[in-house]
Amino acid sequence: MKTKGFIGLGIMGFSMAGHISKVHPTFVYNRSHSKSHHWTDTYTGNVAESPEDLGISCEEIFICVGDDDDVREVIAGNKGLINTMQPGGIIVDHTTTSAVLSFEMHQLCLKKGVHYLDAPVSGGQAGADNGALTVMVGGDKIAYEQVTETINLYAKFSKLMGPSGSGQLTKMVNQICIAGLVQGLAEGINFSEKAGLDTKDVIEVISKGAAQSWQMENRWETMSLGDYAHGFAVDHMRKDLKIAIEEAEKKGADIEITKLIDGFYKDIQDLGGNRWDTSSLLKRLQRHD
């Protein structure tokens, strides 16, 4: 079994790396060391001193850090992967970033004969924990085929969407589709409560019809309880929406609702909800209650 590397042991990466470690010898690296040690207390594997250190031991390295700058740092920083990875190596980046960053990393890696696949994920913390993520990939087909088996350890579905950047563009579509939908669900629950209905009954009925969605199925109850500790943080969503809004402007695509909801998420940050999950749009509607 080949040794695999994983960088970024946050909400998503922690269990993604865990799934890999059940099949392959695994080296992990995280910026704050406490998470690496928590990971080795939970799973079997080794902690690397730096990304550079990982690049010495592993041909295939998976990344799930926060944003563009984090990816730049782990690949191209002083102690970056690119210093040590050998030609033929593959980097699979699960971070949600701009398509510009994907192309920049792809070009940089190509110079060393290393493949860079942009491979953002969907499915949230539960998807990562249960090995049921969806992965949208941009980059080289042969490299993608080489890593598919490992991706399948934590994904229920993955697909190569096209050349470098295509995975991130697909993820932007995903976030554009979700933003308005979550607001709709928040407004529905808020309305139901103000109308004196039993929201549980309402959801039971309407989830059997055209209003049904993943967000409704997985989030209505926690939203009703004011429980916003379910993975995808508002800060990350604002990062994603900024990327989508910038890309939409370049492409001349109108995303009016997405821009509006981005402003609503800013309100949530102003309420101190940076790490609340994205369903906290309901909390914003209830802020004056």
**Which parts of 238-257 interact with ligand NAP (CB under 6 A)?**
240
242 is catalytic: no
Annotated active-site residue in 112, 156, 171, 200? 171
Rounded Cα distance between 117 and 128, Å, is 19
Q: Does 124 bind ligand NAP (CB under 6 A)?
A: yes
Q: How far is the CB of 41 from ligand NAP (least distance, A)?
A: 15
CB 139 within 8 A of CB 167: yes
Quick note: the x/- pattern for ligand NAP over 50-89, rule CB under 6 A, is --------------xxx---x--xx---------------
Q: Does 234 bind ligand NAP (CB under 6 A)?
A: no
Residue 202 or residue 243: which is nearer to ligand NAP going by CB?
A: 243
Rounded Cα distance between 89 and 68, Å, is 21
Q: Does 16 bind ligand NAP (CB under 6 A)?
A: no
CB 165 within 8 A of CB 135: no
For residue 288, how many other CB atoms are within 10 A of its CB?
Answer: 5
Q: What are phi and psi of 150, to 5 degrees?
A: -70, -40
Helix residue spans in the chain (DSSP H): 13-21, 33-42, 51-57, 68-76, 99-110, 124-129, 141-151, 166-194, 199-206, 214-224, 234-251, 256-270, 281-285
Residue 193 or residue 274: which is nearer to ligand NAP going by CB?
A: 274
| Candidate residues 125, 130, 146, 224; the one interacting with ligand NAP per rule CB under 6 A | 125
Q: How far is the CB of 50 from ligand NAP (least distance, A)?
A: 9
Q: How far is the CB of 44 from ligand NAP (least distance, A)?
A: 19
Q: Which residue has the tokens 């470690």?
A: 21
Number of residues that bind ligand NAP (CB under 6 A): 27
Rounded Cα distance between 244 and 73, Å, is 22
Which region, judged by CB under 6 A, interacts with ligand NAP, from 4-12, 80-88, 136-144, 177-185? Answer: 4-12
Q: How far is the CB of 145 from ligand NAP (least distance, A)?
A: 23
| Candidate residues 5, 8, 18, 89; the one interacting with ligand NAP per rule CB under 6 A | 8
CB 267 within 8 A of CB 237: no
| Candidate residues 21, 26, 30, 166; the one interacting with ligand NAP per rule CB under 6 A | 30
Rounded Cα distance between 156 and 143, Å, is 19
Q: Does 31 bind ligand NAP (CB under 6 A)?
A: yes
Catalogue the active-site residues.
171
